[in-house]
Structures are given as structure tokens and as C-alpha cells.
Amino acid sequence: MRFHASGVVRASPQETLAWWTDLREDDAGAVMPPLRRRQIVRRNAEEIETDDRWSIFGIPMRTQAVLRPKPPNGWEVTSRLRGGTAKDRVRLEPVEGGTRVTMDLELELRWPWTWMAAVLRPGLARLFQADLEAVNRALEASITSRSSESAAPTPPISGTRSGSARRS
């Protein structure tokens, strides 16, 4: 089963890549609405491994995911979940006014998850698009707050360990 989502964020491709690939434990409940808990299992220059708890349409889910940045224009995430596996490929493209983020998700599910996903497909497609838009809004908000802070007489606190636009 495949899903596609796309949206434009008012940020450079470099800011977008840094923000989206700077996975943090405090992303839960803040950046992506269905994410309930995130634990960073391992982080190095090539990949970030997480153990995530989700609630999707009231159904508790758990994924073990590995994000691999593919600079300068994307990343991929491979996830293991109770019902199978998922592969998410993301591409960034500079466009006027920002960056287009395009995500393609492929789910390989086992029974009975196949029929559940088929029944929930329209809602899952909306959720996938809504999640992309939520992360893009959080990125834009961080850039806006950073811009207003830089106009203040006191310098802002530096960014996170990855150098992304996120604040510690």
C-alpha cells in the first residue's frame, strides 16, 4: 500500500533538511500530533534510530525506525511495526518562496493489518498529509520566532546539537 504527501514550507532546503532530520524525544505531542512518545535509541552521522509510540485513530502503535539523511535533498526512513514494515522516501526541491517536501510511503503489511489499512486508507492518507503539514508549520514557526528574537537586543540561545533551526 502506497501513500503520497507533498507541501511547500517557507524555509530553505538546508533548513528543511536540518529540521526534519533532527529527531528529538520532545517531538512527541509537539511536532507531529499522533506521536505519543519517542526514545532515541542510537544516533550517529549516518542514521538515527528511534523507538516510537503512536496513537492512530485510537489504535496504539509502536515503531522502531531508522532515519538516514541523504543530503542535500532528502532522507529515508525504514520502520518496523507490529503489522509489517514501512519505507518512507522524502525529497526536497527548492521552489519559489521555500522548499517542496514530497513524501512517498510504502507499507508492506501482514494479515490482519492489510484489511485494516485498506478500510482506513482514506483516513490514513489524510493523516499522512496532515502530519507533513504539521511538521512544516512547526518549522515555519521556529524560523519566525528565531527572526523576531534576532531583532531583540539580547542574542538568542544557539540551536540544537545538529545545527538545525530548533531551539534547545
- Residue 156 inside a domain? The answer is no
- Residue 93 inside a domain? The answer is yes
CA dist., res. 165 & res. 168, Å (int): 10
CA dist., res. 117 & res. 105, Å (int): 13
- Residue 60 inside a domain? The answer is no
pLDDT in tens, 106-127: 999 999 888 888 998 998 899 8
* Whole-structure pTM value: 0.79
Q: How many domains does the chain have?
A: 1
Mean pLDDT of 1-20: 94
Predicted confidence (pLDDT) at residue 160 exceeds the cutoff of 70: no
**10 Å Cβ neighbour count for 23?**
18
Q: Residue 38: pLDDT band by 50, 70, 90 thresholds?
A: confident
What CATH code is carried by the domain that includes residue 111? 3.30.530.20
- Residue 82 inside a domain? The answer is yes
- Residue 158 inside a domain? The answer is no
Give the structural domain span for 88. 2-24+66-148
Task: Compare 147 and 72 and report the one with higher pLDDT.
Answer: 72
- Residue 37 inside a domain? The answer is no
- Residue 40 inside a domain? The answer is no
Q: Residue 58: pLDDT band by 50, 70, 90 thresholds?
A: confident
* DSSP code at position 45: S
Task: Compare 51 and 55 and report the one with higher pLDDT.
Answer: 51
- Residue 50 inside a domain? The answer is no
Q: What is the DSSP string of 61-117?
A: EEEEEEEEE-TTSEEEEEEEETTEEEEEEEEEEEETTEEEEEEEEEEEE-TTHHHHH
